[in-house]
Amino acid sequence: MTPKVDYALFGLALKSNRPIPGLEPLANLPVADVEVWFGDGPPYPDYPGASPPEVWYISPDADRAEAPVLKVWKLQGGAFFRLRYGDGVEFVVDRRGTRVWASWPGKATLEDVTVYLLGPVLGFLLRLRGITCLHASAVAAGNGALAFLGPPGAGKSTTAAAFAQRGHPVLTDDITALKEHGGDFLVLPGGPRLCLWSDSVNSLFGSPEALPRLTPEYAIDPEWDKRWLDLSARGYRFQSQPLPLRAIYLLDQRRPEAVPALEPLPPGAGLVSLAANTYKSEFLERELREQEFDFLGRVAARVPIRRVTPLADQSRLPELCDLILADFQSLAAVSPGRNHRPRE
C-alpha cells in the first residue's frame, strides 16, 4: 500500500498518495478530512441501470480550440462531481468533499495538476463542505488579518506579495476561506506560497526569472508563465494559524491617477461586492448559495470593507501599501478587539 503524505490546508487535514508540489508535509496526522489520489480513478461501479452522467456546469470561457475551459457533471445521481478541463486534466470529487481523484493526459505534469487541485478544485471542495470562500488573498497585520478582494487580474496576489516583502506573514493566496467563531470571522491558512504572473514578478523582484515557474516550460501550456514565491524561504513568513478578519480591501480597476484612492463601502454595497467575488460559487446548488448569502450578510455587517483604486504603474505599489496600512491602523485604533464596523 502506498504511504500517504500529510498536509494541513484551510483547517483541513489532507492525505495524498503523492507529494504535492509547493506544500510542506507534516508528521503523520491521525485522521484525514480529505484524501487525494493522483492517477487513480474513483472506486464507484459503472453498473447497468446506474444514473447517467448529468451535465451540471459548462464554463462560458473557451480555450484556443474553442472548447469550454471547464465542464462539470454530476455522477451516480449526485454522489460525485466530475470536473474536466479543456486540456484533459480531470478530477472527481465526492459530494461530502472528503475525497478527490485526479487523472491527466500524458503530456501533463504533476505541477500542472497541482495548479488545478490547489485552486478551483480545492475551492469547490471547500464549498461542498459549507465553507464560504472569497476570491481574495490575505496577510497578517497587528492582531488580525486583512484581505485583498477582487476578480482575476485585480492584483490580489501582487499586493499580498508587496506586503510579504515588508515582513507581513501571508495567510492565503487567491482563496480566502472563512469560519465564523466567537463573533469573529477567522481566515483559515492556505498553503505557504504566493502565485504571481511574470509581469508582477518583474515589478516586485526586478526580473521574471527571480522566481521559479509554477509549471515546467514543456508542460501543457508553455505560454502560461506564472511564478511562485516560497513563503518558507528566508525573509518571508507564512501564518499557519487562523486569524480574525479585520478589514477587506476591494481592488478596483487600475487607473493612472496621481495617487491611489480609497473609500469605505456601506454594508449594502459591501454585501454586493462580496457576493460578486466569492470563490467557485457558480456551480453551487441553491441551498448552499442561500447559506452563503446569509453568511456574507453577516460579514458585510461586521467587517469594514473599502474600495481601493490602485495605480496602473506597479512600481508605485508601495504607495498603495502605505494607504492600506494607514487605513487599517485607523480601524484598529477604533476597535482593537473583536470585529466592529465604525459609523461611516
Q: Convert the pLDDT of each residue in 40-54 to its tens digit.
A: 766 655 555 567 888
Higher pLDDT, 285 or 321: 321
Give the per-residue pLDDT at 89. 92
Give the per-residue pLDDT at 259. 74
Share of the chain above pLDDT 90, in %: 60
How confident is the model over 299-308, as pLDDT tens digits? 999 999 999 9
pTM of the predicted structure, to 2 decimals: 0.89
- Position 293 pLDDT exceeds 80: yes
- The torsion region of residue 310 among left (phi > 0), alpha (psi -120 to 50) and beta comes to beta
Instruction: Catalogue all structural domains in the chain, each as residue range(s) with its CATH number.
Output: 37-128 (no CATH), 133-334 (3.40.50)
Distance CA 340, CA 344 (A): 12
- Position 220 pLDDT exceeds 80: no
33: pLDDT confidence band, cut at 50, 70 and 90?
A: very high
Give the per-residue pLDDT at 46. 56
Q: Which of 175, 229, 216 is nearest to 11 (CA)?
A: 175
Distance CA 286, CA 292 (A): 10
The pairing of strands 144-149 and 184-188 is unpaired
Give the per-residue pLDDT at 50. 62
How confident is the model over 75-85, as pLDDT tens digits? 988 899 999 99
Question: Exposed (0-12), middle (13-18) or buried (19+): which is 234, by Cβ within 10 Å?
Answer: exposed
